[in-house]
A and B are shown apart, each in its own frame.
Chain A
């Protein structure tokens, strides 16, 4: 963004628009127009207050555990399935319609079903995370494997690789850029999954806190928690995107 001031051009950093929006929020909040919008400064003060508390640490621990476990299961299940689908036409025909269906389906509607099966506990949250994350991982792993130079697959065969060696030494690495972007997109969906799961179960983790704050109209607390979650999801995305860029040179040299 550049502005013309007194005939000279000044580069204005992108975050300036954020500052303007933050100021606007503060003004609206201070004016007391709506109890839903407390002043932004009060929200930030609340973040500082909430984050060190035991109930927050507890919620973070439970959420983090469910998030990581769910992602691990999604990767452990999604990557081999995607590789299989990329290599075998039969497997692709069998699974692809389902993967596409679940990728676009409103998964939130399925969470109550999971709740019925796994009860109102951490298992349900983990399964919700898996449900949200796994499909994009499958699809990206499949795309990655299909993008492998055919001669690399032939090379593995000619030099005597068994299916496991071909998978672990060639396909995984050749598909790494797509795999990582699948994992990144899967994790962003997993954040949704973990929050939605906890909100619906609403007796554990951040779900319990959200339930507590909103039922007592503690809007400052509510916003503070939301900000923390947003920051968490954003940071996660940036870290994974950075990792992805690091292996990007594969994609350029892969089709040498």
Chain B
């Protein structure tokens, strides 16, 4: 499967995030991204996958409006990105929680910044704290939680602002393996329930194939789009069955073969 066959599908949803000819050269001359053009279909989970240091996170932060692109443009919902906006929310690799604030205040923080009244924003926050499975921890502080629970707080915070696009920067990489699997299953549920657009960065092939509707493979730095894979895995099946599904295993293998050449080059 490649980009050609993907665009041939008739029922293709509209692209909510459009990346057009984006390059990024850092001061000092490091070229992170080289002329990347990509569309992210609405309501799907698209994963950016590539060898470490390939600029996946850079691309995600350009979409978030945290870093300016050197050339090219990003459009979200038809508008060109010049900075962060309320239609995008971000989940950080290191959680980025305020250690001095309770779970409740952390989750409600996006709404607090928008000036939503306390009782109102806390009601919304409590609802999402429940959704991510942290009911009863509203008054806890981040240092009292495990890594996995902290990331659930980060996820709830991103959901609370009701953004159309959720940007997730290796959200599960700082979480242990068991918690990670549970997280991936919960993420699938979340995608099905929230009907938001997810852009997900990971370096784990298995994780990418398990959670994604669409996987964008990036090459080594300076990154280009090397391949787009759409794993056609039955999502409603039992999690254990998915991980044993031949399509799942074949897709993992296909991507591994695609990425291996970059490893060989690297060595």
Q: Does A56 contact B (CB under 8 A)?
A: no
Q: Assuming the A-B contacts A151-B92, A249-B143, A256-B143, are A157 and B99 also in contact, with contact meaning beta carbons closer than 8 angstroms in the complex? A: no
Which residue of B has the minimal Cβ distance to A176?
B100
Which residue of A has the minimal Cβ distance to B64?
A158
Q: Taking the nearest CB of chain A, how far is it from the CB of B48, in angstroms? A: 17
Q: Assuming the A-B contacts A149-B94, A151-B94, A159-B109, are A250 and B99 also in contact, with contact meaning beta carbons closer than 8 angstroms in the complex? A: yes
Q: How far is the CA of A62 from the CA of B94 in the complex (A)?
A: 51
Q: Does B161 contact A (CB under 8 A)?
A: yes
Cβ 8 A contact of B96, one of A154, A176, A252: A154
Contacts of B100 in A (CB 8 A): 173, 176, 250
Task: Please choose the segment from B17-25, B82-90, B119-127, B257-265 that sits at the chain A interface, where 4 or more of its residues have CB less than 8 A away.
Answer: B82-90
Cβ 8 A contact of A161, one of B89, B90, B113: B113
Q: Taking chain A's interface residues, is the majority helix, strand, or loop, or is none over half, making it mixed? A: helix
Contacts of A158 in B (CB 8 A): 64-66, 84, 88-90
Query: What is the 8 Å Cβ interface bit string for chain A, positions 138-157, against chain B (1 contact, 0 not)?
Result: 00000000000101101111
Q: Assuming the A-B contacts A250-B100, A253-B143, are A157 and B95 also in contact, with contact meaning beta carbons closer than 8 angstroms in the complex? A: no
What is the number of residues of chain B that contact chain A, defined by CB distance less than 8 Å? 30
Which residue of A has the minimal Cβ distance to B110?
A159
Q: How far is the CA of A59 from the CA of B83 in the complex (A)?
A: 56
Q: Does A170 contact B (CB under 8 A)?
A: yes
Q: Taking the nearest CB of chain B, how far is it from the CB of A165, in angstroms? A: 6
Q: How far is the CA of A156 from the CA of B194 in the complex (A)?
A: 24
A149 and B96 form a contact (CB under 8 A):
yes
Q: How far is the CA of A169 from the CA of B150 in the complex (A)?
A: 20
Q: How far is the CA of A154 from the CA of B61 in the complex (A)?
A: 10
- A155-198 residues with Cβ-Cβ distance < 8 A to B are 155-161, 165, 169-170, 173-174, 176
B94 and A159 form a contact (CB under 8 A):
no
Contacts of B99 in A (CB 8 A): 249-250, 253-254, 256
Q: Does B6 contact A (CB under 8 A)?
A: no
B150 and A256 form a contact (CB under 8 A):
yes
Contacts of A154 in B (CB 8 A): 61, 66, 90, 92, 96
Query: What is the 8 Å Cβ interface bit string for chain B, positions 100-121, against chain A (1 contact, 0 not)?
Result: 1000000001101110000000
Q: Taking chain B's interface residues, is the majority helix, strand, or loop, or is none over half, making it mixed? A: loop
* A-B contact number at CB 8 A: 67
B84 and A151 form a contact (CB under 8 A):
no
- Most chain B CB neighbours (cut-off 10 Å) among A160, A173, A249: A160
A160 and B113 form a contact (CB under 8 A):
yes
Q: Taking the nearest CB of chain B, how far is it from the CB of A172, in angstroms? A: 10
Which residue of B has the minimal Cβ distance to A173?
B100
- Most chain B CB neighbours (cut-off 10 Å) among A155, A158, A165, A256: A158
Q: Does B97 contact A (CB under 8 A)?
A: yes
Contacts of A156 in B (CB 8 A): 113
A160 and B110 form a contact (CB under 8 A):
yes
Contacts of B65 in A (CB 8 A): 158
Q: Does B231 contact A (CB under 8 A)?
A: no
- A86-123 residues with Cβ-Cβ distance < 8 A to B are none
Query: What is the 8 Å Cβ interface bit string for chain A, positions 57-101, against chain B (1 contact, 0 not)?
Result: 000000000000000000000000000000000000000000000
Q: Taking the nearest CB of chain B, how far is it from the CB of A64, in angstroms? A: 31
Q: Does B93 contact A (CB under 8 A)?
A: yes
Which residue of A has the minimal Cβ distance to B143?
A253
Q: Does B148 contact A (CB under 8 A)?
A: no
B98 and A173 form a contact (CB under 8 A):
yes
Q: Does B51 contact A (CB under 8 A)?
A: no
B84 and A155 form a contact (CB under 8 A):
no
Cβ 8 A contact of B92, one of A155, A173, A249: A155
- A223-256 residues with Cβ-Cβ distance < 8 A to B are 249-250, 252-254, 256
Q: How far is the CA of A253 from the CA of B98 in the complex (A)?
A: 9
Q: How far is the CA of A170 from the CA of B106 in the complex (A)?
A: 11
Contacts of B110 in A (CB 8 A): 159-160
B residues with CB within 8 A of A: 61, 64-66, 83-86, 88-90, 92-100, 109-110, 112-114, 142-143, 150, 157, 161
Q: A170-B98, A253-B99 are in contact. List 19 more A-B contacts (CB 8 A).
A: A149-B94, A151-B96, A152-B96, A154-B61, A154-B66, A155-B92, A156-B113, A157-B83, A157-B84, A158-B66, A158-B90, A159-B84, A160-B110, A160-B113, A160-B114, A161-B113, A250-B99, A253-B142, A253-B143
A residues with CB within 8 A of B: 149, 151-152, 154-161, 165, 169-170, 173-174, 176, 249-250, 252-254, 256
Q: List 13 A-B contacts (CB under 8 A).
A: A149-B96, A151-B93, A154-B92, A157-B83, A160-B84, A161-B113, A169-B113, A174-B98, A249-B99, A250-B99, A252-B143, A256-B95, A256-B143
Q: Which 8 residue pairs across A and B have the least CB separation, nearest first?
A: A151-B96, A155-B96, A253-B143, A253-B99, A159-B110, A158-B90, A151-B92, A158-B84
